[in-house]
């Protein structure tokens, strides 16, 4: 039997996937369940009872929690066994990120330590550096932070002014500079610091210990949310860094930073799931207790709509996150088989899915934003009170649209990277756009009766056609100036995100039916029905906004005709579907999907 070629990053726009090729959370094995349970038990016993103490930044408390989580092995899930880790798959690390994601400020400290704090050393460190630092980071004996952002270098990270020069004796780099918004910076023992050596145009990276000379840590920042996490400015004043602490090669810092951002983006897509599911459970708990006009508010249609939409946005995010996570694991496996070391294979495997990572970061953070906002609304006046956790969830959520590159930057990356990668990898979007125009006539008469899944697959295929047509038209129109057309690119990016989420949810639902049978998955069909129906209308609006922004006359008329045809969708009784979704949630009184 012919081996099926793996779907590479961005190729979901031009190739179809089979349900059997994706991972869904319902397939987790016993070891993964144990890891998830350990994470949940830790939060329940060590974090949730002291949330107010955490948010008050009680001295030493967050550092102690990092140490305790390390004692349980929760800091070493992704690290190799030889460095006292558990060498788990990428999917498993995502499951742990999700479980920890409900931990409010602690989840930020945990994610920064296990992700951007530890992984640069794992992926780019030499053997001596790994053996020196990774076991201590895995155990929690040491805590880690990542120092990239500067006052005038946020989204444009390479604009940073921090610099390093070699000492006269050649034994140290003399590091000077200022870093800001450093998560875990107030208590971290080891820092990954980015600076330019001499007059280099790009950064290098250094492993800096807190006890090195010349390091000044400012007081904790006062923040809107994630109040319990440590966020500080750090100054390096003639800090002497041993030459052996250069991380990777000279000038490789920008590449390190970029690849770590890919990892952080896709991980954030998993982290928001834990926060969303907790907020949904709190929402339905309250709706099932609060009475108005003599009735539980969970019986009102307005509340049912909110509850159902919370579920839909979370379920679609989850479907997309674990689909991409399995793709990353497959890429890592292939690269290891080709002779790559596991750390290099991992970072390369993640970078292959930079498009998916960027869109998951945006889609997931905005899904959580909706969930917590409506949680406050369901709680009403109590939601605006600091007595309830939804107040904390609402404030903590906001940073996710800024973390790991703003959502605006990531929306641009989705389109820009899709076009660049398509040209490099051989699936030229302009060529595909032309091909689509040629096949439209034969599609006109090819309606007929279709099965449920055929209809959904066809709708999603049409969403892809819209994205490809617009990518081709915009590329042809603007060429190298395309990146200046940010509002148009945002429209196209939103179309691509809805398409990926819709297809991921479709594949998950189809796979679930194969595992459980049609009778047991009707509620997931409801989720899919509503999401594909809504997506068609969102895509139509985004497409029209784009087309009307750069075309006129016959070209506008032609593209508009294609857009309206491809976004046509069969009617769905969204009210009834949402009521059924809400009813399941209300009956279970917890997130149960």
Place of tokens 């641009």: 412
* HEC string for 263-328: HHHHHHHHHHHHHHHHHHHHHHHHHCCCEECCEEHHHCHHHHHHHHHHHHHHHHHHHHHHHHHHHH
Nearest by Cα to 113 from 149, 142, 85, 90: 142
Q: Output the CA–CA distances (angstroms, integers) from residue 475 to 11, 418, 480, 483, in the order listed.
A: 18, 11, 8, 10
Mean pLDDT of 8-16: 90
Question: What's the chain's average pLDDT?
Answer: 93
Place of tokens 């139509």: 540
Q: What's the pTM value of the predicted model, to 2 decimals? A: 0.95
Q: What is the pLDDT of residues 107-146, one digit of tens each?
A: 999 999 999 999 999 999 999 999 999 999 999 999 999 9
Please give the Cα distance from 224 to 396 (Å, whole number): 8
Nearest by Cα to 111 from 270, 347, 348: 270
Nearest by Cα to 335 from 317, 353, 322: 353
| pLDDT surpassing 70 at residue 360 | yes
Can you give the pLDDT at residue 2?
A: 40
Mean pLDDT of 182-211: 96
Of all residues in the chain, what percent carry a pLDDT higher than 90?
A: 86
Please give the Cα distance from 375 to 373 (Å, whole number): 5
Identify the helix (H) or strand (E) that includes residue 208.
Answer: strand 204-209
Local confidence band at 8 (pLDDT 50, 70, 90 cut-offs): confident
The burial class, CB within 10 Å (0-12 / 13-18 / 19+), for 156 is exposed
Please give the Cα distance from 498 to 480 (Å, whole number): 26
Place of tokens 């830790």: 42
Q: Output the CA–CA distances (angstroms, integers) from residue 249 to 175, 176, 206, 246, in the order listed.
A: 17, 19, 10, 7
Q: Which tokens hold the place of 259?
A: 């690849």
More confident residue, 6 or 154: 6
What are the residue boundaries of the structural domains of the chain, listed by start? 25-143, 146-251, 254-407, 428-588
Please give the Cα distance from 76 to 79 (Å, whole number): 5
DSSP 3-state assignment of 472?
A: helix
Q: How many CB atoms lie within 10 A of CB 294?
A: 5
Q: What is the pLDDT of residues 151-179, one digit of tens each?
A: 988 777 778 899 999 999 999 999 999 99
Can you give the pLDDT at residue 433?
A: 64
Please give the Cα distance from 157 to 198 (Å, whole number): 18
Can you give the pLDDT at residue 1?
A: 34
Q: Which tokens hold the place of 341?
A: 């070391």
Can you give the pLDDT at residue 279?
A: 98
Architecture of domain 146-251 in this structure: Beta Barrel (2.40)
- The set of residues, in sequence order, having a beta carbon less than 8 Å from that of 305 and lying 6+ positions away, is 578, 582
Can you give the pLDDT at residue 340?
A: 94
Q: What is the pLDDT of residues 482-512, one digit of tens each?
A: 889 999 999 999 999 999 999 999 999 999 9
Dihedral sign for Cα atoms in the order 106, 110, 116, 121: positive
Local confidence band at 48 (pLDDT 50, 70, 90 cut-offs): very high
| pLDDT surpassing 80 at residue 439 | no
Q: Is residue 495 a contact partner of residue 542, using CB atoms and an 8 Å limit?
A: yes
Q: What is the pLDDT of residues 370-428, one digit of tens each?
A: 999 999 999 999 999 988 999 999 999 999 999 999 999 999 999 999 888 776 665 56
Please tell me the CATH code under which domain 254-407 is placed: 1.20.140.10
Can you give the pLDDT at residue 475?
A: 87
Can you give the pLDDT at residue 154?
A: 74
* Catalytic annotation, residues: 404
Mean pLDDT of 553-572: 94
Can you give the pLDDT at residue 300?
A: 98
Local confidence band at 480 (pLDDT 50, 70, 90 cut-offs): confident
Please give the Cα distance from 521 to 589 (Å, whole number): 19
Mean pLDDT of 273-291: 98
Mean pLDDT of 220-230: 96
Could you please state the CATH topology (level 3) that the domain comprising 25-143 is classified under. Butyryl-Coa Dehydrogenase, subunit A; domain 1 (1.10.540)
Nearest by Cα to 362 from 414, 326, 322, 316: 414
Nearest by Cα to 241 from 200, 199, 211: 211
Mean pLDDT of 302-323: 98
Please tell me the CATH code under which domain 428-588 is placed: 1.20.140.10
DSSP 3-state assignment of 146?
A: strand
Nearest by Cα to 546 from 559, 532, 565: 559
Domain 428-588 in the same topology as domain 254-407: yes
């Amino acid at each position: 039997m012919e081996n099926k070629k793996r779907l590479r990053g961005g190729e979901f726009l031009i190739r179809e996937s089979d349900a059997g090729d994706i991972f869904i959370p319902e397939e987790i094995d016993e070891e993964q369940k144990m890891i998830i349970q350990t994470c949940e038990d830790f939060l329940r016993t060590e974090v949730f009872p002291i949330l107010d103490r955490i948010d008050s930044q009680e001295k030493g408390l967050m550092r102690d929690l990092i140490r305790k989580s390390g004692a349980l092995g929760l800091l070493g899930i992704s690290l190799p066994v030889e460095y006292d880790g558990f060498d788990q798959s990428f999917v498993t690390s995502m499951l742990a990120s999700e479980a920890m994601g409900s931990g409010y400020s602690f989840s930020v400290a945990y994610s920064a330590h296990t992700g951007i704090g530890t992984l640069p050393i794992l992926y780019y460190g030499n053997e001596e550096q790994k053996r020196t630092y990774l076991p201590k980071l895995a155990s929690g004996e040491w805590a880690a932070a990542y120092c990239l952002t500067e006052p005038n270098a946020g989204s444009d990270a390479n604009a940073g002014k921090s610099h390093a020069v070699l000492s006269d004796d050649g034994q140290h780099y003399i590091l000077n500079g200022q870093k800001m918004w450093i998560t875990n910076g107030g208590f971290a023992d080891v820092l990954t610091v980015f600076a330019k050596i001499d007059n280099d145009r790009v950064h290098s990276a250094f492993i800096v210990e807190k006890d090195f000379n010349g390091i000044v840590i400012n007081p904790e920042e006062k923040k809107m949310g994630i109040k319990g996490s440590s966020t500080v400015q750090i100054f390096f004043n003639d800090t002497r860094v041993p030459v052996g602490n250069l991380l990777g090669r000279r000038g490789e810092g920008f590449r390190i930073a970029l690849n770590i951002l890919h990892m952080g983006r896709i991980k954030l897509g998993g982290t928001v799931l834990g926060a969303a599911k907790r907020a949904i459970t709190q929402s339905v708990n309250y709706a099932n207790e609060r009475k108005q006009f003599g009735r539980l508010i969970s019986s009102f249609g307005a509340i049912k709509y909110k509850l159902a939409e919370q579920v839909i946005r979370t379920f679609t995010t989850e479907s997309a996150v674990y689909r991409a996570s399995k793709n990353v694991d497959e890429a890592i496996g292939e690269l290891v088989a080709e002779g790559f070391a596991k750390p290099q294979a991992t970072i390369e495997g993640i970078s292959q899915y930079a498009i998916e990572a960027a869109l998951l970061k945006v889609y997931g953070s905005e899904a959580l934003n909706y969930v917590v906002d409506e949680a406050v609304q369901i709680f009403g006046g109590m939601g605006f009170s600091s007595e309830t956790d939804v107040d904390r969830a609402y404030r903590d959520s906001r940073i996710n649209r800024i973390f790991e590159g703003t959502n605006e930057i990531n929306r641009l990356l989705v389109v820009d990277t899709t076009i660049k990668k398509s040209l490099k990898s051989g699936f030229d979007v302009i060529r595909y756009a032309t091909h689509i125009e040629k096949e439209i006539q034969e599609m006109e008469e090819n309606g007929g009766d279709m099965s449920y899944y055929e209809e959904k697959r066809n709708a999603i295929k049409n969403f892809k056609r819209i994205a490809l047509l617009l990518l081709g038209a915009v590329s042809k129109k603007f060429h190298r100036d395309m990146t200046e057309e940010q509002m148009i690119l945002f429209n196209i990016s939103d179309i691509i995100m809805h398409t990926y989420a819709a297809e991921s949810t479709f594949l998950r639902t189809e796979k679930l039916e194969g595992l459980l049978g049609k009778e047991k998955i009707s509620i997931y069909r409801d989720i899919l029905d509503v999401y594909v129906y809504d997506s068609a209308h969102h895509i139509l609006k985004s497409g029209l906004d784009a087309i009307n922004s750069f075309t006129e006359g016959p070209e506008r008329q032609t593209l508009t005709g294609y857009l309206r045809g491809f976004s046509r969708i069969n009617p769905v009784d969204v009210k009834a579907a949402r009521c059924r979704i809400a009813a399941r949630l209300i009956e279970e009184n917890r997130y149960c999907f």
